[in-house]
């Protein structure tokens, strides 16, 4: 999606299926602290690239039914909050992963059970031991605004004082805005 949207004094309400109040508290290695990734503000580090074989395997495994996405862009010009709820079916018992590139991964739950945010490896969050059937994944993260056009860009116009946002989610850049099975046939 590409476009100008004023965010001056506004906040996007989360959809019912992305209500953070129903997120189960996560189990963390360091109690009380989320997984914070150390990257300079505004920096875009390289990510693991999805291979053709990985994409084909995951497409055969998963059927994605729904993405519920709530973005809170009221925290200033460096970061924004991203809450993603993904409903999907696994066609078989298997391991897979979801992609995201957060500044901070606060909590992750799969079917109401907490997953360890520290398992995030670059941009891949493993989903181990999936069983065949319906699943719900909830990911609560803080994301960085882009300064290079990838992901979500925020700009305050010095002339009118209005703040504008735009996204450029080409290729694998969606994971800079929200958690996703980041391939065209599963988004």
Tens-place pLDDT, residues 98-150 = 999 999 999 999 999 999 999 999 899 999 999 999 999 999 999 999 888 78
Tally of structural domains, the chain: 1
Q: Find the mean pLDDT for residues 62-88.
A: 96
Does residue 84 form part of some domain? yes
Quick one: pLDDT at residue 187?
Answer: 62
Quick one: pLDDT at residue 96?
Answer: 96
The CATH number assigned to the domain holding 98 equals: 2.60.40.1730
Are 152 and 113 a contacting pair, CB within 8 Å? no
Residue of 56 and 35 predicted with greater confidence: 56
Does residue 25 form part of some domain? no
Encoding tokens for residue 73? 């862009």
The answer on pLDDT for 18 being more than 60 is no
Does residue 186 form part of some domain? no
For the stretch 166-178, pLDDT in tens is: 887 776 789 999 9
Domain span at residue 117 reads: 5-18+48-176
Quick one: pLDDT at residue 21?
Answer: 34
Cα–Cα distances in angstroms (integers) from residue 3 to residues 114, 165, 168, in the given order: 36, 8, 9
**CA dihedral sign of residues 81, 68, 32, 119:** negative
Q: Distance between CA atoms of 65 and 137, rounded to whole angstroms? A: 12
Q: pLDDT band at residue 36, thresholds of 50, 70 and 90?
A: very low
Does residue 83 form part of some domain? yes
Does residue 185 form part of some domain? no
Q: Find the mean pLDDT for residues 52-61.
A: 90
Does residue 182 form part of some domain? no
Highest mean pLDDT among 4-8, 12-16, 34-38, 107-111: 107-111
126 DSSP β-pair partners: 97
Report how far apart the first and last C-alpha atoms of the chain are (Å, whole number).
13
Does residue 61 form part of some domain? yes
Q: Distance between CA atoms of 49 and 173, rounded to whole angstroms? A: 11
Residues contacting 66, CB < 8 A, separation 6+:
17, 85, 86, 87
Highest mean pLDDT among 5-14, 36-45, 54-63, 91-100: 91-100
């Amino acid at each position: 999606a590409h476009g100008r949207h004023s965010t001056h004094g506004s906040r996007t309400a989360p959809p019912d299926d992305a209500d953070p109040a129903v997120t189960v508290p996560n189990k963390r290695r360091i109690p009380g602290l989320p997984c914070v990734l150390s990257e300079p503000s505004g920096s875009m580090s390289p990510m693991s690239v999805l291979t053709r074989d990985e994409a084909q395997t995951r497409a055969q495994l998963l059927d994605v039914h729904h993405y519920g996405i709530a973005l809170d862009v009221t925290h200033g010009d460096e970061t924004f909050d991203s809450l993603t709820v993904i409903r999907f079916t696994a066609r078989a018992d298997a391991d897979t992963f979801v992609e995201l590139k957060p500044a901070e991964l606060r909590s992750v739950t799969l079917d109401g059970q907490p997953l360890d945010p520290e398992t995030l490896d670059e941009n891949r969050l493993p989903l181990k031991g999936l069983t065949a059937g319906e699943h719900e994944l909830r990911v609560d993260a803080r994301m960085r605004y882009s300064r290079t056009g990838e992901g979500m860009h925020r700009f305050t116009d010095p002339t009118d004082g209005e703040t504008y946002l735009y996204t450029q989610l080409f290729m694998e850049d969606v994971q800079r805005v929200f958690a996703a099975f980041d391939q065209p046939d599963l988004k």
